[in-house]
Amino acid sequence: SLGDFRKLGRMGGVTLGFFLFTTMMALTIGLVLTNLIEPGALLSDTDRAILLGSFTASSVMSNAAEAPSMLDQLVSIVPTNPFGSLARGEMLQIIFFATMIGIAFTLMETKKAKVAVSLFESLNDAMVVLVHVAMKLAPFGVAALLFEVVGNTGLGVLIALGAYGGVVILGLLLHITITYMPVVKFYAGLPFLGFIRAIRSALVLAFSTSSSSATLPVTMEACESNLKVNGEVTSFVLPIGATVNMDGTALYQGVAAIFIAQIYGIDLSLGDQATIVLSATMASVGAAGVPGAGMLTLAMVLAAVGVPVQGVALIIGVDRILDMFRTTTNVVGDSTATVLVAKIQGNPIGVVSPEEDAADPTAGMEGRLDDVQPNPVDLDSE
Q: Is the pLDDT of residue 368 over 90?
A: no
Highest mean pLDDT pick, 87-101, 119-133, 208-222, 364-378: 208-222
Which range (22-26, 159-163, 200-204, 222-226) has the least confidence?
159-163
Work out the pLDDT band at 63, boundaries 50, 70, 90. Answer: very low
Over range 330-337, report the average pLDDT.
Answer: 93
Work out the pLDDT band at 107, boundaries 50, 70, 90. Answer: confident
Over range 224-229, report the average pLDDT.
Answer: 88
Q: Is the pLDDT of residue 213 over 60?
A: yes
What's this model's pTM, rounded to 2 decimal places?
0.69
Cβ atoms of residues 291 and 209 within 8 Å: yes
Which range (84-88, 120-124, 216-220, 359-363) has the least confidence?
359-363
pLDDT, tens digit (0-9, with 9 covering 90-100), for 186-199: 988 899 999 999 99
CA dist., res. 214 & res. 202, Å (int): 10
- Which residues, other chains included, contact 145 with Cβ-Cβ below 8 Å and sequence gap of 6+? 313, 316, 317
Indicate the burial class of 126 (C-beta count within 10 angstroms; 0-12, 13-18, 19 or more). Answer: exposed
CA dist., res. 314 & res. 157, Å (int): 9
Work out the pLDDT band at 148, boundaries 50, 70, 90. Answer: low
pLDDT of residue 173: 95
pLDDT, tens digit (0-9, with 9 covering 90-100), for 202-212: 898 888 877 77
Work out the pLDDT band at 56, boundaries 50, 70, 90. Answer: very low
pLDDT of residue 181: 95
Over range 322-339, report the average pLDDT.
Answer: 91
CA dist., res. 363 & res. 368, Å (int): 8
> Comparing C-alpha atoms, which of 12, 206, 213 is closest to residue 124?
213
Over range 261-288, report the average pLDDT.
Answer: 74
